[in-house]
Structures are given as C-alpha cells and as structure tokens.
Structure 1
Amino acid sequence: MHAATIAVVDDVPRLAILWPLLLAGAVYWLLSRVIRGSRDSQRTSAARHALLTGLIGWLASSLAPAANAGIIPLPQSTTVPVDTLSALAWPVLGCLTVHVLGQLSYPRRRWTTDTSRGERRRARDVVPRRLAWVVLGIFAGAAAQIGWMSTLPGFSPHAHEARPDGHGGYTSFGGEGRIPGQDLAPYLGGALVFLAAGTLLVLVLIARRPPLSGLSPTEDGLLRTITSNRLLRTVATVASGLGAIAGNHAARPDPAAGMSSWINPSGALNLAVLLVMLLWPPPRLAAPQPHPGDSLRLGSGSKRLQR
C-alpha cells in the first residue's frame, strides 16, 4: 500500500504541484501589498484591493480549455481529447482560491474603535439580494442542462466522406463523436456542486473577517457587499459555462446522420450571462461627504478673512 502511494506521487509532475503554490503565493503577496503596504487612505486601498481580487478571480475562471469536454476527435486527427478533470478543476478552484486569498490578505488584528467586537455578521447580511437570486437561477439552469445531457447516448467519430443522396448529388457524412452523457455528467455536476459549496464558504469568510481600521461600520459592510458582488458575478459565469459545455455535448449530431452543422443555444445563453455579469455594477465605496455645518463654518470664516 505504501509503495503504491509513493508510485502514484512519483507519477505526478512536480511542476503540477509547484506552479499552483507559486501562483497562490504571488497572488497573496500582491493583494497583501495593496491592502497593507499602500500609502493611500484605507478607503482607497480597500476599494483597489476589492477590484484587484475580482479581476484576478475573473481571469482565473476561464473554462475555454474544457469547451470540448467529452468530445471524441476524428480518427487519425492531431486533436487531443480534453483532460476533463484538470480542465474543470483549474477554473473552479482558481476563482474560489483567489477570493479566499483576498480575504486572508486583510490585516488580521486591526479593529475599528467604533465597532462592537461582539457583533457578528452573517453571510446573508453581505449578499446583494437581487444578484443572489439571478445567480441561483443560473446555477439551477446549469444543473438542469447537465441533468438532461446525462440521459443522451454517445456515438463514435466517423471520418468525413461523401455519399450519393439519391437525387444526383452528394451528401457529406462524418464528424467528431462524443462519450455518453452519463460519463460526462459526474464531472460537470461535481464541478457545479463544488462551485456552489465553495461559494457559500467564501461568503461566510467574507462576512466573518475582522473589520478594517479606518472604515466606519457602514463602509466596512459596504466593502463586504462589494466583495460578495464580485464573487457572485464570477461564479455565475463559471456555472453558466458548465451548462454551455453540457449544451455543446448535447448539440453534437451523430456523424452517421449526415448532419455537418449544429447550433448550441446554451453557448449563446452563456455569452449573454457573461455580458450581463460583466456590466452588473458593484456598489461604490464613496468618500465621506463633509458635514453641512463644516461648509457653513468654512464660509463664515472666509467672509471674516475677506473683511
């Protein structure tokens, strides 16, 4: 048993373990520098930190390498079948890890003087309600798409050839195949469940991190809502992408049927979700407005100076 474990570990390339650790360390260092080492105000640093966390998480969430998961290439083709597990693991784990590192990079021992230490926020207190319902609908739609795909059969690839159509012309046959839907569904469904569970855990982490010094309780709560907004928008695109992968698999025609083109409605829907999430604005951490009395006092002082 011990020898078998060593053999499995030896088969794993060291870079496959080293690179993720190096990337995570670099992201953590960058986010820590933004929130701790900046000379700007805490409000400006916090807003920049939330923006950078959301941007890096968004970049890490691309499902493009997994677009053709479950598709069998043509015989004698140079195309390599997609490694479904790694192609799905990178974006799902990547976007969640970035947001976890974003929360861990905040100062751990700095509390505001005007916030009660006994106060404990809940995840639902920092989640934008309307966005949360939209994201929940996207997850439900992706789950339904994956469930429907799991019932579809697979078929073998077939080299392209032309056959007489019986009317004096020719019809093209052949194309890529696909594995049975029940073989791909565990990967997509597992990724979707893991993404949902990880999102809930990150939301809890966002709600329970210590408040930042230099921010009022209202501003600190708004910062948590901004972070939740960016997290939910990112995971919504990933969930939609998983549904689009299932849709691409389901839309592939049987090469023996003589169909050379197909339409993937889930792909168009995924593009729409991507645009909506990209344009969905987060709240803004605005600078505090001066008290009206301050301007009156400043105005009366300037009049005295003019006299």
Structure 2
Amino acid sequence: MPRFVEIPFSDSKEFESYVCDYFSIQYSTVFATYGSAGQNQYGIDGLHYSPSYNSKVHVIQCKNWNAKELKLSDILADIEKTKNLNIKFDVFHFVTSSKKSTKLQDDIANNLEKLTNNFSFDFQIHYYSDFFNDSLRHKNIVNKYFSMFLNEEDSPQIRDTKSLFMLARFIESSFVDIPYHISKARINETPAYSSLECLSTFQQTIPDGIFYDPKLNEYVEIFLEYIEKINHYRIPNFEFKYDQNIPRLFHLKYIGKPEEHNFIVTKIENLIENFSETFKRFLSYIKRNHYDFDIFKNYYVPPNI
C-alpha cells in the first residue's frame, strides 16, 4: 500500500473521535470521547469502559495542533489535571497532530518521572503522522473520515465530489467568495486566502493529483503556481501588519525599494486578476460536473485548540 501524507483535521472534536475509533481497534475495546465542550475533562479526551486486550485501563489526551509547536510544559499541564480525575488508569496516551521535534522527544525521555507521576502509570506519545497510514487499512475509519480513499465502486465523478467536500473543510470561505479574497491579496492577507495553502497538502497526498478528473488536478496546480508567484513578490517587499480587531487578518505595507514599487505592484495585481478569473472558471466547471457540491456553502469547520 502506498504511503500518503496525513490529512489534517480542522475540527479538534472530530480528531478526538477519529483517535478513539483507531485506538478501539488497536486495543480491542471501545474508546469513547470524554465529556463535552465547556466541561472540565481533567486532562483527558478519551477512555474505555470495557476491558482492553491487556487488561489495562487506558486514557487518551488529544492535541490537534497542526501549526502550533508542542512543548513539554503542554503535556505536563494535562498530566497535572489528571490528579483530579476520579478514574484510576494504567496508561496515559498523548496523541498529537503536531510535527515531531527532537527537542520534545529528548525532553520526554529525560522527564519520564514527571510524566508518569513518579511512575504510577505508563506514558506514551503518539504522532498522527506515524499512524495515519495504518489507520487507512481499516474500512470503517476510511468510510467515516477519509472517504477520498474509499475503494468501493463509486464512479470517479462521485469520488471527486467527495474530495471537493474534504478540501472545502480546510478553506475558510465558500468557494464562490474565494475570488473576492484573492482580489484583496495586494492589500490584505485574509484568513480565507491564507487557507488556500492547504491545496499544497492535498497535492502532495497523491503524487499525480488527488482527483480522478485531470482538469481538477490541473486547476489545483495552476492555483498553487499563482500563490507561489504572488508570494515571490509579496513576501520580500511587504510587511504583514496584524489587524488588532480582526483575528488573522493582515494588512500589507510596502517596504521594498521605492524605484521598484510600480513594477512590483503591477506584477502582483496582474497575477491576482488572472488568479481570480481562473478560480471563477473553476467554479463554473464544478457547477457543471459536481452538482452535489454547493459552491455557495461554507464547509469550513474552525479548529478548536
């Protein structure tokens, strides 16, 4: 089976559910998410009630931190919370989608006494990138969370529609509004425009493109080229100033050479105009070929971290 790049979860609760489903298979029991939003969960997100294959009681803490760096202090904070948990457990599983860090791995190896409350239970850390591909071996998980990998006899068109739904979960806008956010890219970096970077992850998932329709793959390639070319002129020549009133909105201030200002601005504006018009053609193509996908609907679910 080929190895795929892991698909990030935008919804942390869905990530917790996915982890519980996977661990249920691994430990031959049934894990459930613990508590609900707003409740004190005492450092855990999942647990099981029936015996595990090794007769030990396991609890799970999930951190769906796709961009945030995980530190030892973050783990210890959750370990500390378990002191008020009215459940005796044998193994504490810390599951994270953050990238691996040699510093953190060294810190864990050198602080096992703290991480196990003086060795009163076992501590294990699990990286999503390590078990994502293994989870794809289980049909119920693929069907529930990663329908793009289904091997059932769906038509290529239906599979591509499912992939569009999956992609839309990570873009902070309805598709029909994306040309507007692109048009603002000369003066602003909106969250919707920034989220288009997820196209790179989807492109890398399968070497020859995630879609069966070569036209859709071609559009993704074109969009990534536009983003790269726009960044080529924006990043070295503009300061991105954080908006104090609107989260994750940045205003662009020119800091490049004065004599190059008109040239650079013209280049960016031409690229933006072409990018926006190409995305509109992409919308027309989706309307004609993928009727179940609503280009007016915002499918994005913000991460809860």
Into which bin does the TM-score normalised by the smaller protein fall?
Answer: under 0.3
Max Rg structure: 1
Tell which has more relative contact order, 1 or 2 (C-alpha 8 A, sep 6+). 1
Structure with greater strand share of residues: 2
Structure with greater helix share of residues: 1
Q: TM-score when scaled to structure 1?
A: 0.25
Q: TM-score when scaled to structure 2?
A: 0.25
